[in-house]
Chains A and B, each alone.
Chain A
Amino acid sequence: MISVIDYGAGNIQSILNALDDLNVEYKVTGNEQVIYNSDKIIFPGVGEASFAMRKLHLSNLSTMLRVTKKPLLGICLGMQLLSEKSEEGDTCCLGIIPADCLKYNAANVKVPHMGWNKVSLIKGNILFDGIENETHFYFANSFYIPVCDYTIATTDYDIKFTSALQKDNFYGVQFHPEKSGEPGIKLLKNFIEKC
């Protein structure tokens, strides 16, 4: 069973629709015990970082997420919250990935970074099994994690940033696989079946 963490940060219906396509059993939950008893965790997030972190603390989920050994996939803000801290709302995040989340420079590019952009694979990873290098995925973000030791894929927007990462059981994607057509569904399937 997959836990889709619901901590009141943004809409998760699209992720549930995609999981329905894949016919997997899931529970939408903010309950620590339910998450503890699940096989894998999907950690979504749309919205603002400090608000989301506050919600995580209030639902007593932050410690559990830090120490879990279950495969976890952070999506969009969910990935950013794996970092040390975010410039968005000057927020202390979960500190799983030793990198900070920064804001795009609006003097150089339009912010938010919104639309379809290429994802370049820099390390082979089962998350991208069967997905071609340089496939387009759908992004909608104003903040980014720079390239770091745990980056597995990068995307260009003003600078080269982390579009996917992995550290141990923690996976993260900056784009929205649930909104990226077939390749996105494939990525979710890889996470569910192979990670």
Chain B
Amino acid sequence: MLTKRIIPCLDVKDRRVVKGTNFVNLKDAGDAVELAYRYYMEGADELIFLDITATEEKRNALIELVRDVGKVIRIPFTVGGGITSVDDIEVLLNAGADKVSLNSAIVKNPHLIEEASKKFGSQAIVAAIDVKLVNGIKQVFIKGGKEETDLVGLEWCRKVVELGAGEILLTSMDNDGTKNGFDNDFLRLVVNSVAIPVIASGGAGSKEHFLDSFSIANVDACLAASLFHYGEINIGELKKYLSKNNIVVRI
């Protein structure tokens, strides 16, 4: 049986890990490679790096980071931020990343998912979807949550699966940074509507929140950032807690 996964997310700016609330007010949380190694040793199942300042000039710095991370951890990792083409993806995968996370680019050009999953396999393509409640509807946002689109969350989730995405990273912008728990109602709806793994993101504040999302929404993985960065929850302890509560995890 596949285990449920715990995934620390590292938002990276100039090789430093930063974290804000509702996508703003960034605080420094340490060196990206050092933090990656700490999470590997604590028993993280996977890591995600999101370059939040990804621009053309920074592209090489991100490739360097992928190389350096690959030298110190022996678990899979995903990288995202500003990826717009199959060529971008190829460079990052060749540098040692296992998967890429695509967000704004696939809203503008959905065929990027198709092209990329054909070339690199679905397992390498993560569709990152940020949703926020607008007039009672979970609307899709892009550009780090700054720009609203006319896409409806659930429909967009179904569409990315159809196009060949291997996994959905679903972030609730309403919950992100609140520490009030994951958006389990919407997550459950998505989990029941798609046949690929779903990663819950946004809102983790306690061990119970992870347990809830695994047991109520039946997500495949839970992601958190600041909780882990600032040592509020140790990943090893979190996994022991989940295991005691009958969630199958790798310990």
Contact = CB atoms under 8 A, between A and B. Distances in A.
B1 A115 contact: no
Nearest to B220: A115
A95 to B, nearest CB: 23
A157 B2 contact: yes
A114 B167 contact: yes
Interface string A1-45: 000000000110110011011000000000000000000000000
A181 B45 CA distance: 9
Nearest to A13: B96
Contacts of B93: 10-11
Given A47-B120, A47-B121, A142-B122, A20 B71 contact: yes
B247 interface: no
Given A46-B121, A140-B98, A178 B74 contact: yes
A47 to B, nearest CB: 6
B167 A116 contact: no
Interface stretch (A55-63, A64-72, A104-112, A125-133): A104-112
A13 B94 contact: yes
A181 B75 contact: yes
B71 A114 contact: no
Given A14-B96, A179-B98, A114 B74 contact: no
B74 to A, nearest CB: 5
A112 B123 contact: yes
A177 B238 CA distance: 25
B80 interface: no
A190 interface: no
Given A114-B197, A136-B250, A142-B123, A179 B75 contact: yes
B2 A116 contact: yes
A11 B98 CA distance: 8
Given A112-B166, A115-B220, A138 B96 contact: no
B88 to A, nearest CB: 14
B224 to A, nearest CB: 17
Contacts of B97: 11
Interface of B: 1-3, 5, 40, 45, 67, 70-71, 74-76, 93-98, 118, 120-124, 166-167, 195-197, 220-221, 250
Interface of A: 10-11, 13-14, 17-18, 20-21, 46-48, 106, 110-118, 136, 138, 140-142, 156-157, 176, 178-182, 184-185
26 contacts: A11-B93, A11-B96, A13-B70, A13-B94, A14-B96, A46-B124, A47-B121, A106-B195, A110-B195, A115-B220, A115-B221, A116-B250, A117-B3, A136-B250, A138-B75, A140-B76, A140-B98, A142-B121, A142-B123, A157-B2, A178-B74, A179-B75, A179-B76, A179-B98, A180-B74, A182-B74
